[in-house]
Structure 1
Amino acid sequence: MNKLIKPEKGDYYLSEEGYKVFTKQYHLKRGYCCESGCRHCPYGYNSKTNSQ
Protein backbone atom coordinates (compact mmCIF):
# COMPACT_ATOMS: atom_id res chain seq x y z
CA MET A 1 0.00 0.00 0.00
CA ASN A 2 3.02 2.31 0.18
CA LYS A 3 2.83 4.39 -2.97
CA LEU A 4 5.78 6.65 -3.63
CA ILE A 5 4.46 10.10 -4.45
CA LYS A 6 7.00 12.68 -5.56
CA PRO A 7 6.19 15.86 -3.61
CA GLU A 8 5.24 18.80 -5.81
CA LYS A 9 4.66 22.48 -5.12
CA GLY A 10 2.03 22.85 -2.41
CA ASP A 11 2.51 19.34 -1.02
CA TYR A 12 4.54 20.45 1.99
CA TYR A 13 6.03 23.42 3.76
CA LEU A 14 8.89 23.81 6.25
CA SER A 15 8.00 24.29 9.89
CA GLU A 16 9.79 26.87 12.02
CA GLU A 17 12.02 24.03 13.22
CA GLY A 18 12.91 23.10 9.62
CA TYR A 19 10.80 19.93 9.31
CA LYS A 20 8.75 19.10 6.21
CA VAL A 21 5.04 19.30 7.03
CA PHE A 22 2.88 17.56 4.45
CA THR A 23 -0.34 19.32 3.46
CA LYS A 24 -3.85 17.94 3.06
CA GLN A 25 -3.23 18.06 -0.71
CA TYR A 26 -0.32 15.62 -0.38
CA HIS A 27 -2.18 13.22 1.91
CA LEU A 28 -5.14 13.06 -0.48
CA LYS A 29 -2.80 12.33 -3.40
CA ARG A 30 -1.20 9.51 -1.40
CA GLY A 31 -4.66 8.07 -0.82
CA TYR A 32 -4.46 6.57 2.67
CA CYS A 33 -3.73 7.40 6.30
CA CYS A 34 -0.31 6.40 7.66
CA GLU A 35 -1.54 6.71 11.28
CA SER A 36 1.39 8.91 12.28
CA GLY A 37 -0.72 11.79 13.62
CA CYS A 38 0.06 14.14 10.75
CA ARG A 39 -0.85 17.79 11.34
CA HIS A 40 -3.01 18.06 8.20
CA CYS A 41 -4.48 14.53 8.04
CA PRO A 42 -7.72 14.61 5.99
CA TYR A 43 -8.66 11.09 7.15
CA GLY A 44 -9.55 12.06 10.72
CA TYR A 45 -6.88 10.00 12.47
CA ASN A 46 -6.56 10.81 16.18
CA SER A 47 -3.15 9.84 17.58
CA LYS A 48 -4.43 10.18 21.16
CA THR A 49 -7.12 7.51 20.70
CA ASN A 50 -5.26 5.65 17.92
CA SER A 51 -8.41 5.66 15.77
CA GLN A 52 -10.06 7.39 12.84
Structure 2
Amino acid sequence: MNEKIDPNNLVEGEDYYLTPEGYRCFTEKYHLKRGYCCKSGCRHCPYGFDKKTGEIKKK
Protein backbone atom coordinates (compact mmCIF):
# COMPACT_ATOMS: atom_id res chain seq x y z
CA MET A 1 0.00 0.00 0.00
CA ASN A 2 2.71 2.45 -0.85
CA GLU A 3 0.50 4.63 -3.05
CA LYS A 4 0.68 8.42 -3.02
CA ILE A 5 -1.78 9.90 -0.54
CA ASP A 6 -3.63 12.99 -1.72
CA PRO A 7 -3.75 15.42 1.24
CA ASN A 8 -7.06 16.76 -0.10
CA ASN A 9 -8.71 13.35 0.36
CA LEU A 10 -7.96 12.81 4.06
CA VAL A 11 -10.96 11.90 6.22
CA GLU A 12 -11.25 13.58 9.62
CA GLY A 13 -11.75 10.98 12.34
CA GLU A 14 -10.24 8.22 10.19
CA ASP A 15 -6.93 9.60 8.91
CA TYR A 16 -6.50 12.39 11.46
CA TYR A 17 -8.17 14.32 14.25
CA LEU A 18 -7.78 17.88 15.45
CA THR A 19 -6.07 18.42 18.80
CA PRO A 20 -7.44 21.00 21.27
CA GLU A 21 -4.65 23.32 20.06
CA GLY A 22 -5.92 22.99 16.47
CA TYR A 23 -3.17 20.75 15.07
CA ARG A 24 -3.83 17.78 12.79
CA CYS A 25 -2.78 14.55 14.50
CA PHE A 26 -2.48 11.57 12.15
CA THR A 27 -3.92 8.24 13.25
CA GLU A 28 -2.26 4.82 13.20
CA LYS A 29 -4.48 3.92 10.24
CA TYR A 30 -3.12 6.88 8.27
CA HIS A 31 0.49 5.93 9.05
CA LEU A 32 -0.10 2.34 7.91
CA LYS A 33 -1.79 3.61 4.74
CA ARG A 34 1.23 5.84 4.06
CA GLY A 35 3.47 2.79 4.41
CA TYR A 36 6.62 4.06 6.11
CA CYS A 37 7.93 5.78 9.24
CA CYS A 38 8.86 9.47 8.88
CA LYS A 39 10.95 9.33 12.10
CA SER A 40 9.30 12.45 13.54
CA GLY A 41 8.14 10.79 16.76
CA CYS A 42 4.46 10.79 15.82
CA ARG A 43 1.98 10.18 18.63
CA HIS A 44 0.34 7.20 16.89
CA CYS A 45 3.38 5.71 15.12
CA PRO A 46 2.70 2.00 14.43
CA TYR A 47 6.35 1.39 13.52
CA GLY A 48 7.71 1.82 17.04
CA PHE A 49 10.05 4.76 16.41
CA ASP A 50 11.70 6.05 19.60
CA LYS A 51 12.62 9.71 19.21
CA LYS A 52 15.04 9.56 22.17
CA THR A 53 17.17 6.75 20.72
CA GLY A 54 16.44 7.36 17.03
CA GLU A 55 15.66 3.68 16.52
CA ILE A 56 12.65 1.81 15.22
CA LYS A 57 11.67 -0.96 17.61
CA LYS A 58 9.74 -3.66 15.80
CA LYS A 59 6.61 -4.71 17.67
- Are 1:39 and 2:43 counterparts? yes
For this pair of structures, how many residues does the alignment match?
50
Report the counterpart of residue 5 of structure 2 in structure 1. Answer: 5
Q: Deviations over 1:1-52 (max 9, x none)?
A: xx64132241000001000000000000000000000000000000011111
Stretches of structure 2 lacking an aligned partner (at least 5 in a row):
none
Larger radius of gyration: 2
The structure that is strand-richer by fraction is: 2
Q: Normalising to structure 1: TM-score of the pair? A: 0.87
**CA distance, structure 2, for counterparts of residue 23 and residue 15 of structure 1:** 12
Report the counterpart of residue 52 of structure 2 in structure 1. Answer: 48
RMSD of the alignment, in Å?
1.3
Amino acid at match of 2:44: H
**CA distance, structure 1, for counterparts of residue 43 and residue 55 of structure 2:** 15
